[in-house]
Amino acid sequence: MEFLIITGLSGAGKTRAADICEDLGYYCVDNLPVALLGRFAALCLATRGRYERVALVMDVRSVESYEELDAALSELESLDCQVRILYLEADVDTLLRRYKESRRPHPLGKRGQSIRQSVEKEIAFLAPLRERADFIVRTDSAPLNRLKARICDCLQPEDRRFSLNILSFGYKLGLPPEADLVFDVRCLPNPYYEPDLQHLTGLDAPVADYVFRNGNAQVMLQKLTELLEFLLPLFEADRRELTVAVGCTGGHHRSVAMAQALAQAMEDRCRLVTVSHRDIET
């Protein structure tokens, strides 16, 4: 069983990190007192596999002393749990700016004490925990929405493949709400008006041949492939998947043929690609 301790400076992005870990399949708990850590681990182990990956957010309010946390982590390890620590930090000026924007009090704040003094006190208090951390991630050099890629690189370096989802659809049935990018292929010749092709789909070779017999379809495929080759590295910086929708009138012929061809073109470029056809059966 894996326990990931998400900790670090207040305002450095621990809540955002917990959301990311939840997307990665971790069961997340925020601000569990250190004194309850051993009992919580025992409860998770008693579920016999239901909670194999747990992420615990711990800030300075959860820890009375480093010695208490060290004892709790040793107890976890004695239960044959894998324990890793993800420590998030940012420079003091960045943290001060974030506190000014959020207008929230610092957890170590006291009357007559500035936020800077509270941050510096927290840095000193958490220094031993930072020394023990398996991963240290700074969040001041890039926006917090870039955090996902960094955490994935730390926790799942073997699973950082970017997923490209290609979806065909029919405009008459509405735009797919999950689409990030939408391309319209209604400008291409429509096989629907060919009696021999009307009852086939873009998965059938005669329909695909009809669509791509037109030179514009080949050029469009080339341009879309080039565009995705340019865009994907940009999207990969802060997400793990992208959904590209290709639409025609009914979602049976042109969009299906183009989606299939586009998926094949991107697979040839070593991308993890899935293709589906929303309206092909309607």
| Residue 110 DSSP symbol | -
152-189 burial by CB neighbour count: b if 16+ within 10 A, else e? beebeeeeeebebbbbbbbbeeeebeebeeebebeebb
Residue 1: is its pLDDT beyond 90? no
> Does the global pTM surpass 0.85?
no
| pLDDT reported for residue 158 | 57
Residue 257 binned pLDDT confidence (cut-offs 50, 70, 90): very high
Q: What is the pLDDT of residues 102-154, one digit of tens each?
A: 888 888 888 888 989 999 999 998 898 899 999 998 887 655 556 777 787 78
**Structure-block tokens of residue 26:** 């971790």
Could you read off the pLDDT of 63-116 as tens digits, one per residue? 777 788 888 888 888 888 888 999 999 889 889 988 888 888 888 888 888 989
Task: State the burial class of residue 238 (Cβ atoms within 10 Å of its Cβ: 0-12, 13-18, 19+).
Answer: middle
Listed in sequence order, the residues at least 6 apart from 220 whose beta carbon sits closer than 8 Å to its beta carbon are 185, 188, 258
Give the closest residue to 126 by CA, choosing from 252, 214, 266, 6: 6
Q: Which residue has the tokens 């998030």?
A: 88
Length of the chain: 282
Tell me the domains of the chain and their CATH numbers.
Answer: 2-159 (3.40.50.300), 163-277 (no CATH)
Residue with tokens 């209604």: 186
The alpha carbon of residue 132 and the mean position of all alpha carbons in its chain are separated, in whole angstroms, by 26
Query: Is it the case that residue 159 has pLDDT exceeding 60?
Result: no
Bridge pairing between strands 82-89 and 2-8: parallel
Cα torsion angle, 238, 239, 240, 246, sign? negative
pLDDT tops 70 at residue 233: yes
Rg, Å, the chain Cα set? 26
- pLDDT per residue over 160-189, tens digit each? 567 889 999 999 999 999 899 999 999 999
Helix (H, G, I), strand (E, B) or coil at 7: strand
Residue 173, token pair as written in the block = 């049935």
- Provide φ and ψ at 248, rounded to 5°: -130, -165
Give me the DSSP letters along 151-218.
HHHHH-GGG-PPEEEEEEEEGGG---TT-SEEEE-TTS--GGGSTTTTTS-TTSHHHHHHHHHSHHHH
